[in-house]
Amino acid sequence: MNIEEYAKKHKHYLKDQMPDELDKLFRDNSFSRFIDIGCGGGLILYSLYKRGYDKKLKEIWGVDLSSERLKGISSISADIKTVQDDAQTLVNVPDNYFDIVVSTQVIEHVPDDGAMINSLSRITAQNGIIYIDTVFKKKWAWYFYKNQQGKYALDPTHVREYMNDSELLSKLNINNMEILLSRKQIILFPVVNFIVRRLKIKSTTILENPLIKLFSLIKVPVPGYYIWKIILKKK
């Protein structure tokens, strides 16, 4: 299925959800130019505004390969600059520009992850920070879906899910990037998400309902699956 059809079929719903490590970066630093690569429906951008981190930023950009995904971003704020671009090349994004570059749950969708890493590095200013997270799994990991290679996958559109650190870390140019953090956290899946998907609930009002939010606290671990969070600094 092509990326636009997929975006139409599987909408991203907005909720205030940001990885703790990213939240800490915003609390501890004064960034001025922020970009979210593969921003999708705008989960991180929405959370940024909900938490008031937008106030300190001078520029906020959202980039995605899918124009369909980018359509809803203006509903978060008209101040967000949206750009349709490929994370592997980012031809419409300037060099050495951003002091905080974020890409959550995208690199596992991209055929050439090394090219994506190089592009992220290129657009980051000197001493700027890159936050990436992706999927990491044990050999015995299990989930409902299989990807095109016939392997279990958290999402059928994942082209890869990392199984050892060197698969990704070996692609970093260690001469111009310092690893500040590499942490894996078991993935917990809210039981209510199964129900929401099953009933095809799309309304943000329902998803923001306090009772639904309370139920979403009941979570089960996904066997063998982790979120792998990496923070890099461009030297």
Smallest gap, in angstroms, from Cβ of residue 2 to ligand SAM? Answer: 11
Smallest gap, in angstroms, from Cβ of residue 227 to ligand SAM? Answer: 10
Smallest gap, in angstroms, from Cβ of residue 42 to ligand SAM? Answer: 8
x-marked contacts with ligand SAM along 163-182 as a string, rule CB under 6 A: --------------------
CB-based closest residue to ligand SAM: 40
Measured CA to CA in angstroms, residue 229 lies from 132, 133, 136, 149, 225 at distances of: 6, 4, 10, 24, 13
Smallest gap, in angstroms, from Cβ of residue 235 to ligand SAM? Answer: 25
Cα(233)–Cα(75) distance, rounded to whole angstroms?
A: 31
Cα(215)–Cα(190) distance, rounded to whole angstroms?
A: 8
Smallest gap, in angstroms, from Cβ of residue 231 to ligand SAM? Answer: 16
Return the number of the residue (92 or 127) whose C-beta is nearest ligand SAM.
92
Comparing CA positions, the residue from 80, 95, 2, 82 lying closest to residue 46 is 80
Q: With contact defined as beta carbons under 8 Å apart, do 190 and 214 qualify? A: no
Measured CA to CA in angstroms, residue 133 lies from 9, 29, 150 at distances of: 24, 19, 23
Stretch that binds ligand SAM, among 50-58, 64-72, 177-185, 203-211 (CB under 6 A): 64-72
How many residues of this chain interact with ligand SAM, rule: CB under 6 A? 19
Degrees (nearest 5) of the Cα angle 69, 123, 127? 125
Amino acid (1-letter code) at residue 28: D
Stretch that binds ligand SAM, among 23-31, 37-45, 124-132, 216-224 (CB under 6 A): 37-45
Task: Pick out residues in 82-111 that bind ligand SAM (CB under 6 A).
Answer: 86-88, 104-106, 109-110
Smallest gap, in angstroms, from Cβ of residue 20 to ligand SAM? Answer: 15
Measured CA to CA in angstroms, residue 204 lies from 52, 68, 100, 209 at distances of: 20, 18, 28, 8
Chain residues in the site for ligand SAM (CB under 6 A):
3, 7, 12, 38-40, 43, 64-66, 69, 86-88, 104-106, 109-110
